[in-house]
Amino acid sequence: MGSFDLYLMGWQLIDPQVFLMIFLGTLLGIIVGALPGLTATMAVSIIVPLTYKMSPVVSILMLLGVYCGGNYGGSISACLINIPGTPSAIMTGLDGHPLARRGKAGLAIGMATLASVIGGLFSVFILSVFSPIIANIALKFKSLEIFGVALFGLSVIAYVSPGSTLKGIMAGFFGLLVATIGFDPTIGVSRFGFGSTNLLGGIDFVSAMIGLFGMSEMLANIEKTKKERDFGFLQEKVTKTWGALKYIRKLKAVLLRSSIVGVIIGAIPGAGGTIAAITAYGLQKKVSKYSHLMGQGTLEGIAAPEAANNACTGGAMTPLLSLGIPGDAVTAVLIGAFIIHGIVPGPMMYTTNPDMVSAIFIGMLLANIIILFIGMPGAKYISKLLKIPSQILNALIIALCIIGTFAIKNSLFDTCVMLTFGGIGYLLSKAKVPKAPIVLALILGPMMEENLRRWAALAEGKYWTEFVNAVLTNPVTLSMALATLAVLLAPIIMKKKHFSEDDIQFTSTASDIDPNDIIFAEKK
């Protein structure tokens, strides 16, 4: 770990302007998170091209603010109108909404805010302590190990995608094929170019992402009737949010447990805030003494998922910074942001851009603190935004998708890619095929192919001996090989059902509880 330089260096980069942008980013993230239909991933995807002209520090930190804010913002609408603003807030509403209905909306939101902030801060701590260590190890990675990491990342997503695993893997493979369009990494021959210089450049994954997550949502939205799109507004008053503070001490075990879950799941490439929230809620339900009360308005039912989904942010940033691999969909988009600014995320960052790394730690710290100060007093204003008519909002998003994509490389071809993937995404959601594997394949695919073939070229035909050699002599290779093997064989061995968001049964949320009943924490 060495000196504290790594942690202090970043301060130089943070001037009032940067701070303002982090603030704006976090605010934007919270707002977007609070609006159902807009996900954090979408927000970050669309905002990446907007930050293009800013300096790297400003843009990355602003995006991190959006990221952290977005993961939190979903809880606001989940609690108030029982529609999660982002998928990661799915579990929050189970307890948040009943609590709000009982007149304690402020308490619910307050708890959600505090839990998010605590989870987030915990994960930044873990990120800053562990990622340099991981980075150091990562510097010893050669092509074979990097290939292994990419393969590992890809194999995990297949297991955590909603819906059928087979379809998830197929989507991933489709993404791998799309990723081969362009120049061959080893030889430089053009593949699937069909004579078009545009295709030679390959498919820009940021455009594909905006199309897949943004545009396709818009296309799907138009199918719903106007009534379905506009959200009802709970007329609950959101007051006394700080009241939740006094329950924190009693919930500290819950918070710690959920934060750890969030960090670990975040760090697994491919698993993100939603999975973290679900896992944490599920775990809490198993260990809680009051599990029968969960789903009816308990504070732990709010604290667990919210702490987890925000802890996911730091967790997902860890592999991003130390290995250059995204920990979840949003960090995958962040890779694009880094690259646009000429920074290649990965272990070398600790050598070539240590000030950037340090600024990231500090920025995330600030973002989480800002969430506290926006969320607590501001939640009631944000909830008013839920009233924007969807037709205007959707039109705005469409315009942003198009112009934003165009702005990345001044290329109308990219916008065509965006639209194409919008169509593909729409069709995929009809076929209930998960979309995230495609994007992850677009990012990890080239990495995987490049390194695999480079290793093959270096091995000069002696594949088996080289492989065995590496596994035996390099502890890193050995662990990578074992980990990947474990992931691939796990379902067969354990016969455990994989995570599936479809599988979550939504228990009825508005149970008729006697208003005189006190919620569990107050009982103590």
Partner 1 sequence: MKRTVSVVLCLVFVCFFAFAGGGKEGSAEGEAQYPKGDISVLIAAAAGGGNDLLVRALLPSLERTLKVSVVPVNQPGGRGAIAFNEVASARPDGQKLYFNSKSALLMKFNGIEEAKMERLVPVAQAAEDVSIFVVRSDSPIKNIKDLINHIKTSKERVKAGNSGMGALWHLSQILFCQTIGSDNILSIAYNGSSPMLTALVSGEVEFVTCGPEAKSFIDAGKVRPLCVVYPGRYPSFPDIPTLKEETGLDYDYPVWRGFFTTAGTDPKILKILSDALKIAVESEEFKKFTAVGMIASFKDSKAFAEIVDKEQKSLEILMPGVMAQIKSAESSGGKK
Partner 2 sequence: MNDFVFSAIMMAVSLFVFIASETFAAKGNNAFSLAYNPAFYPRLIAFTLFAMACVLMFQSIRKGALKNARIHVDRQRLAKVFKLFLIVLLYIVGINYAGYIISSVLCVFLSVAIYGGSRKQAFVYCIVITVALYLVFQIGFRIPLPKGDIFEYWR
Q: Which residues bind partner 2 (CB under 8 A)?
A: 50, 52-53, 166-167, 169-170, 173-174, 176-177, 180, 184, 186-187, 189-192, 194, 215, 218-223, 226, 229, 389-392, 394-396, 398-400, 402-403, 406-407, 410, 412, 415-416, 419, 422-423, 426, 430-433, 449, 452-454, 456-457, 463
Residue 429 structure tokens: 């959601």
Q: Give the separation between CA 33 and CA 306, rounded to whole angstroms.
A: 13
Tell me, what amino acid is at 517? D
Q: Which is nearer to partner 1, 409 or 498 (CB)?
A: 409
Under 8 Å between Cβ of 305 and 277: yes
Q: Is 473 in the site for partner 1 (CB under 8 A)?
A: no
Q: Which is nearer to partner 2, 187 or 494 (CB)?
A: 187
Q: Which is nearer to partner 1, 137 or 488 (CB)?
A: 137
> Which window, 15-23, 128-136, 327-335, 451-459, contacts partner 1 (CB under 8 A)?
451-459
Q: Is 391 in the site for partner 1 (CB under 8 A)?
A: no
DSSP tag of 102: I
* Total residues interacting with partner 1, rule: CB under 8 A: 42
Q: Which is nearer to partner 1, 142 or 380 (CB)?
A: 142
Q: Phi/psi class of residue 514: alpha, beta or left (left: φ > 0; alpha: ψ in -120 to 50)?
A: beta
Give the x/- contact pattern for partner 1 in 15-54, rule: CB under 8 A.
-------------------------------------x--
Interaction partner, residue 221 (partner 2, partner 1, none; CB < 5-8 Å by kind): partner 2
Under 8 Å between Cβ of 418 and 211: yes
Interaction partner, residue 399 (partner 2, partner 1, none; CB < 5-8 Å by kind): partner 2
Q: Which is nearer to partner 2, 191 or 380 (CB)?
A: 191
Residue 255 structure tokens: 């918070």
DSSP tag of 214: I
Give which of 204, 182, 218, 156 is closest to 437, Cα–Cα.
156
Interface with partner 1 (CB under 8 A), residue from 194, 387, 431, 460: 460
Q: Are strands 182-183 and 190-191 parallel, antiparallel or unpaired?
A: antiparallel
Q: Is 257 in the site for partner 1 (CB under 8 A)?
A: no
Give the x/- contact pattern for partner 1 in 153-192, rule: CB under 8 A.
-----------------------------xx-xxxxxx--
Give burial (CB, 10 Å; 0-12/13-18/19+) of 384: exposed
Under 8 Å between Cβ of 338 and 127: no
Q: Give the separation between CA 290 and CA 517, rounded to whole angstroms.
A: 14
Q: Is 141 in the site for partner 1 (CB under 8 A)?
A: yes
State how far the alpha carbon of 473 is from the alpha carbons of 7, 50, 478, 479, in Å: 34, 47, 8, 11
> Which window, 122-130, 263-271, 336-344, 501-509, contacts partner 1 (CB under 8 A)?
336-344
Interface with partner 1 (CB under 8 A), residue from 24, 134, 136, 142: 142
* Minimum separation from the CB atom of position 207 to partner 2 (A): 12
Interaction partner, residue 139 (partner 1, partner 2, none; CB < 5-8 Å by kind): partner 1
Q: Give the separation between CA 224 and CA 228, rounded to whole angstroms.
A: 6
Q: Give the separation between CA 389 and CA 391, rounded to whole angstroms.
A: 6
Give burial (CB, 10 Å; 0-12/13-18/19+) of 242: middle
* Minimum separation from the CB atom of position 303 to partner 2 (A): 37
Q: Give the separation between CA 434 and CA 167, rounded to whole angstroms.
A: 7
CA atoms within 13 A on the CB side of 275: 27
Residue 219 structure tokens: 């296309």
Interaction partner, residue 468 (partner 2, partner 1, none; CB < 5-8 Å by kind): none
Q: Is 2 in the site for partner 1 (CB under 8 A)?
A: no
Q: Give the separation between CA 475 and CA 452, rounded to whole angstroms.
A: 19
Q: Residue 183 — φ and ψ, nearest 5°?
A: -85, 140
Q: Is 509 in the site for partner 1 (CB under 8 A)?
A: no
Q: Is 200 in the site for partner 1 (CB under 8 A)?
A: yes
Interaction partner, residue 431 (partner 2, partner 1, none; CB < 5-8 Å by kind): partner 2
* Minimum separation from the CB atom of position 522 to partner 1 (A): 54
Q: Residue 247 — φ and ψ, nearest 5°?
A: -90, -5
Q: Which is nearer to partner 1, 140 or 240 (CB)?
A: 140
* Minimum separation from the CB atom of position 419 to partner 2 (A): 6
Binding site for partner 1 (CB under 8 A): 52, 56, 139-143, 182-183, 185-190, 197-198, 200-202, 204, 339-344, 346-348, 351-352, 409-411, 446, 450, 454, 457-458, 460-461
